[in-house]
A and B are shown apart, each in its own frame.
Chain A
Amino acid sequence: MEISGARMVIEALIAENVDVVFGYPGGAIMNVYDEIYKQKSFQHILTRHEQAAIHAAEGYSKTTGKVGVAMITSGPGFTNAVTGLADAYMDSVPMVVISGQVAMSLIGTDAFQEIDAVGISRSCTKHNYLVTHASQLPRILKEAFYIAASGRPGPVHVDIPKDVTAQLAYFDYSQEVQLETYKPTLKGNMRQIKKAIEAIAAAKKPLFYLGGGIKASGADALVRRIVAQSQIPAVETFNARGTLSHEDPMLISMVGMHGSYAANMAMSECDCMIAFGPRFDDRVTGKLSEFAKYAKIIHIDIDPSSIGKLVDVDFPIVGDLKSVLEDMEPLFASTIAPSMYASWRETIKRFNDLHPLSYHDDPAGRLKPQWVIQRIGALLGDKANISTDVGQHQMWTAQFYPFSRSRQFISSGGLGTMGFGFPAAIGVKRADPERISINITGDGSILMNIQELMTAVEYKLPVINVILNNNYLGMVRQWQTLFYEDRRSETDLSMQPDFVMLAQSFGGIGYRVSTKAEFEAALQDAIAKNVVAMIDVVIDREEIVLPMVPAGGSLFNMMLAKKEK
């Protein structure tokens, strides 16, 4: 039987086991929305902005590992979604984003709500399609899901003209995906793997450099085993937080611009760097000519273009991390003895004792953001999923929250999108309803998708927003203080809404707190009431994120917190 293009979209989503779509309707996508109305197989969540629909789908995907799905209309619907696409692209989040387009006959005529959507999304998606006939839809949608989830994951955009959604054609979703030009390498080269193991065995100061590729390939358990077996110390990138438990004795901490002293020193001093799926981001490497100067570098990544992009690699291994580590694990076990690196571990311990991650709590003064984060961690630990927005609060969260599993920390690492946190936390709550979904945010960022209060309330997705309120665009203010002689150009956010009333007006609950006791009481109350909440926490305005490697500086040249006397 022939069915419409719009119906095909529904059938494909059902065949892909999609259980939630985040979206926002409009003229060009209405045929599909009409079919959504008629079906009961998946839920549609109406966000209050297209950007939020994409971030919510990202939050869902980052939590579950499944492909996130979002749907939007043409023109402004699509352009509103572009930030989300770019965000998903930078953080390698598997997504399928379906947009409506004006009818084929109108394309290229500057029709109402026409924009060259595939032209715009080309540079911020893994792949994209403009569907020109309904008969292509089964193949294209199947390819879209396959491409999004395989290899280095990423967002795929499918643009469907309105007349195509009305066309009738046969729907056959059973055809295997056949892409002769796309076959991601899975197995690593065994000779290269053996050479890498030899290099590790010959090293005195090896270091695991754990990246976001680990969770993407589902290799966290393997990594934990290999680390435990080899007793080689490890640093995590921002996107890899939680790969090792905060209790793991081999975990040094986060590395990079706001990484710990010990982590950055270990990166600088190691003689063999074993990189599991990081991308050598400039916020991690610092000045390239000084980066890991003494180290032989082993880099395992599924994306060949990630390897040797910035840093010369001695042992490149292209392949799916999980598959490569499965091959490596027995070699680690037979070749590497934990006793080999005892003095290196001692060195790292000394680094850590010298300058541990720390802050000065001032009982007489305002609350310290780091205390708030540690307190949430102490109270909720593994019971919460933690999303963040972008700024100082994000870095403090990455530094101080006691993460115990991968996918617990949901944040915009690559693009650094303010406004990501709240909609993402909504997607997280939808994906993992048993756990508490906390969004640690800033007074600047929260206003960038504040309308999502309505979505969270309507769909009973009780996200708790903890606003670390410094009345500043804090991270920018920090740079102004440090690098612009403290000229605070356009970063003062003294003008603020009443966040308590704001939350209430949407049907949520609000708290404004300025002491430890008030904070704890508010958090407990919000958890007990199980409703959408905003906890506006008045914090020390002048606090800055330390340690800090100034942009372009060497990793070992850090600005450090003053030592407590």
Chain B
Amino acid sequence: MTEIIPDEKRVISVVVVNEASVLARIAGLFAGRGYNIESLTVAPIPESKYSRITIATSGSKRVIEQIIKQLYKLIPVLKVIEHAQQVEKEMALVKFPVGESIADIAALCAAYNGKIVNVGQGVIITMVADEPQRINYFLEAVKIFNPKEIVRSGVVAMER
């Protein structure tokens, strides 16, 4: 009988040489082995030739270990950081119709490090930034205000 081990959620940061093919290498590594990518963000690291790719993924302990080793094997990968000890944040933009209670929406956003960032024709746009799990709660809570569109940034992380 095979043990059923629950999948762990993990955020892995990968420091890579900032070159054209590197994202394809990493995405290909996940795709080719059936590893799951929940979110992925990329941005250059200031004043260096490197970029940081932050990947939220899930899998058994063995799979996560294997992902990390395989990432290390890619030639343009400098470093793979996978710590339980890290700050993780995500941003979300949500668009509401103006008919909804602006004050209530603003109050809810404030509770999740956010605010109203744009008021346009018939819509308002809010921004919140928090831990990914808290973003989930926020999006659950704002359902009563009939959000028209939701954009999540994907998670970024930094070691403590």
Contacts and interface: CB of A to CB of B under 8 A. Distances in A.
Nearest to B17: A181
Interface string A283-318: 000000100000000000001110011000000000
A246 interface: no
B21 A182 contact: no
Contacts of B65: 308
A153 to B, nearest CB: 13
Contacts of B77: 181
B25 A122 contact: yes
A304 B32 CA distance: 19
Nearest to A130: B21
A123 interface: yes
Query: How big is the A interface, by class?
Result: 10 to 19
A154 to B, nearest CB: 10
A499 B68 CA distance: 51
A182 B74 CA distance: 8
A305 B75 contact: no
B24 A182 contact: no
Interface string B26-37: 001000100000
B160 interface: no
B19 to A, nearest CB: 10
A104 to B, nearest CB: 13
A122 B21 CA distance: 10
Contact of B69 (A122, A128, A147, A304): A304
Query: How big is the B interface, by class?
Result: 10 to 19
A387 to B, nearest CB: 29
A135 to B, nearest CB: 16
A305 B70 contact: yes
Contacts of A304: 69, 72-73
B73 A122 contact: no
A309 B66 contact: yes
Contacts of B66: 305, 309
B78 interface: yes
Contacts of B72: 304-305
B27 to A, nearest CB: 10
A158 to B, nearest CB: 13
A180 to B, nearest CB: 7
B76 A118 contact: no
A289 B3 CA distance: 11
Contacts of A182: 75
A127 interface: yes
Interface in B75-106: 75-78
Interface in A115-132: 118-119, 122-123, 126-128, 130
Task: List the 6 shortest-distance A-B pairs measured between CB atoms, nearest first.
Answer: A305-B69, A181-B78, A127-B75, A182-B75, A304-B69, A123-B32
22 contacts: A118-B21, A119-B24, A122-B21, A122-B24, A122-B25, A122-B28, A123-B28, A126-B75, A130-B21, A179-B75, A181-B17, A181-B75, A181-B76, A181-B77, A182-B75, A303-B73, A305-B66, A305-B69, A305-B72, A305-B73, A308-B62, A309-B69
